[in-house]
A and B are shown apart, each in its own frame.
Chain A
Amino acid sequence: MFLDTFVLLSANADSGFLASLNQRLNLGDIIATVVFFTILMLLLKKFAWGPLMGVMNQRAEMIANEIETAEKSRAESQKVLEEQRALLKEAHTDAQSIIENAKKQGEATREDLVQAARAEVSRMKENAALEIVTEKEKAIAAVREEFVSLSIMAASKVLGKEVSEEDNRDLIEQTIVKAGEGR
């Protein structure tokens, strides 16, 4: 009995409090605002902001990666460029030395050739001189021989008798040689 009254009283007091509160305050609106806003925030986080943030982060990451890659490839190309430059320089030096060498070699070859040609010429000259001398001697000998036969022929004609060629040749030749020396 006592308990019942107490419960009733408290229930009355409760409803009285709520009723008086209701006259002053839109408790329902407050609850609805908070609940709606919370639900909206959670839904948006799941369906809109979360994915969007994900994409933006992904993009930021991608851009960072791209920048890094670009930096790397730039450094690499710089390196390659340096290498190429060095190679080019080397090639240039090589070419220069090759040209130098070739020039030197050409010079030497020319010198050699000239030398050889000169030697050849002088050799040929000598040969020619020798030949000329030989020929001259040959010609002189031939002339001498002819002259001897002619002389014998003339003498035999003059003498009217056959002079043995073999007998007199030596004599005549000696005479001619003497005459040649005397000349």
Chain B
Amino acid sequence: MEHTNPERILFGISYNPANIMMLFVTCLIVFIIAVLATRKMQMKPTGMQNFMEWVMDFVKGIIKNNMDWQTGGRFHVLGITLIMFVFVANMLGLPFSISWDHELWWKSPTADPVITMTLAATVVILTHFYGVKMLGAKGYFKTYFQPMPFLAPLKVIEEFANTLTLGLRLYGNIFAGEILIGLLATLAAGSIGGFVGAIIPALAWQGFSIFIGAIQAFIFVMLTMVYMAHKVSVDH
């Protein structure tokens, strides 16, 4: 199934309306889940509140693995939002993808490199921002010359490499998953034999993609906190 991304130009800026729509859907779903889960809050949590608290504690654990809570507490909200956002975004393309006029409209927003790279760049820029904010400009630049001054060029390259790998890892995993699901779906739609042949691998791959999506969301947040810890704590 050949398809391209829809392109529109608004206010002189080109954009992909499918991406905007999927981002909006992701935000909406995350928001609804979060608000539903925290609507009736109790001291003794039940149901969804339990789940949300588990997510919070999970992210808290990730942060605590990388820095002390005094420093890391401020990234808690960022971490929870990121993990929920990336996970939901990863899941969206799994059940189906919709194309119209050979333009792909419904997919995982994270199956688009622009979006994942934007997220990754945002995260890395945030790490620099907090690095300067918490260590001061001097302390921030000093981190480039530690542990050895001659490693400074590598340190600079590392920043770009981090951004690139952070974004492209997520994109690659999700995009590959969707491509394979798309191929299997095409096979299944082709003939009865194809349907019979494709149904088991399709089911297996979808299950695996759920796993991949969850793992990638976890890795994304984990690496965010690792990079953050590199920038904001001196002992690293």
* Interface residue ranges, A against B (CB under 8 Å): 15, 18, 22-23, 25-34, 36-37, 39-41, 43-45, 47-49, 51-53, 55-56, 58-59, 62
- Answer whether residue B119 sits at the interface, using C-beta atoms and an 8 A cutoff: yes
- Please name all residues of chain A whose beta carbon is closer than 8 Å to the beta carbon of B84 when the two chains form the complex: 44
Instruction: Give which listed residue, B15, B41, B81, B118, contacts A52 with CB less than 8 A.
Output: B41
Report yes or no: A47 in contact with B38, Cβ–Cβ below 8 A.
Answer: yes
- Please name all residues of chain A whose beta carbon is closer than 8 Å to the beta carbon of B114 when the two chains form the complex: 25-26, 29-30, 33
Report yes or no: A33 in contact with B38, Cβ–Cβ below 8 A.
Answer: no
Q: Which residue of A lies closest to B33 (CB)?
A: A48
- Answer whether residue B234 sits at the interface, using C-beta atoms and an 8 A cutoff: no
Report yes or no: B20 in contact with A29, Cβ–Cβ below 8 A.
Answer: yes
Query: How many chain-B residues does the 8 Å CB contact rule pick out?
Result: 40
Instruction: Give which listed residue, B13, B14, B77, contacts A49 with CB less than 8 A.
Output: B77
> Within the complex, what minimum Cβ distance (angstroms) separates A34 from chain B?
6
Most buried by B among A22, A26, A34, A62: A26
> Within the complex, what minimum Cβ distance (angstroms) separates A152 from chain B?
129
**Chain B 67-93 near chain A by CB (<8 Å), digits 1 or 0:** 000000000111011001100000000
Report yes or no: A26 in contact with B16, Cβ–Cβ below 8 A.
Answer: yes
Report yes or no: B76 in contact with A18, Cβ–Cβ below 8 A.
Answer: no
Report yes or no: A15 in contact with B41, Cβ–Cβ below 8 A.
Answer: no
Report yes or no: B53 in contact with A26, Cβ–Cβ below 8 A.
Answer: no
Report yes or no: A58 in contact with B43, Cβ–Cβ below 8 A.
Answer: yes
Given contacts A25-B114, A48-B52, 7 further A-B contacts (CB under 8 A): A26-B14, A30-B114, A37-B27, A44-B30, A47-B34, A49-B56, A55-B45
